Amino acid sequence: MAHFETRTGSEEIYRGRVFTVTKDTVTLENGAEGIREIVHHHGGACVAALTEDNRVYLVRQFRYAFGQEIWELPAGKLEAGEDPLEAAKRELGEEAGLAADHWRDLHPIWPTVGYCSEIIYTYLATGLHPVPMHLDEDEFLTPESLPLDEAVAMCLDGRIVDGKTIAALLKIQALRAKGEL
């Protein structure tokens, strides 16, 4: 039997530029009532841009919520109804100054399933070539290429802490180990 909850009510608590928060009343599978506070987010797209000599492009970016600069793959939020692959292509150009000839779907990840509807669509980009980089006016970051093996080691030893980056890089490493890349 599949587990379930049924929403019986919803109240919008906050509406912002990036997300909305609701407080939902639910009926649990045992008939009891529960409360769920949910962050509704349009999702994002994330790109692992891999060179022919197995270097991957990462960006260093300050993240205010954590008060520090972290390593991440190029990524950005989706506009409502935007195609995730088109968003990934846009973000690769904006943040890394790259375009790609080949794209592989690494499948979506759901980073915070307990309270947020965000889905991050992850892609592998190859056949890279430079294009003009054009950051948003409120965006400050530095792109750098690192050997893929070093980036994976950074995931494993805690120097890379961003979940979408860890997931995508470990997926690529697993595909390489299986001979699929």
Sheet holding 141-147, edge to edge: 68-72, 55-63, 141-147
Active site annotation includes 72: no
Q: Pick from 63, 125, 134: which is nearest to 96 by CA?
A: 134
Three-state DSSP at 180 gives coil
Catalytic pick among 33, 52, 72, 137: 137
- Write phi, then psi, for 40 (nearest 5 degrees): -100, 125
Contacts 24+ apart (CB under 8 A), 171-177: 171/106, 171/107, 171/122, 172/48, 172/50, 172/56, 172/106, 172/124, 172/148, 173/148, 176/148
Three-state DSSP at 33 gives strand
What does the alpha-carbon distance between residue 68 and residue 53 come to, in Å, rounded to a whole number?
A: 30
Q: Which residue numbers are catalytic?
A: 137
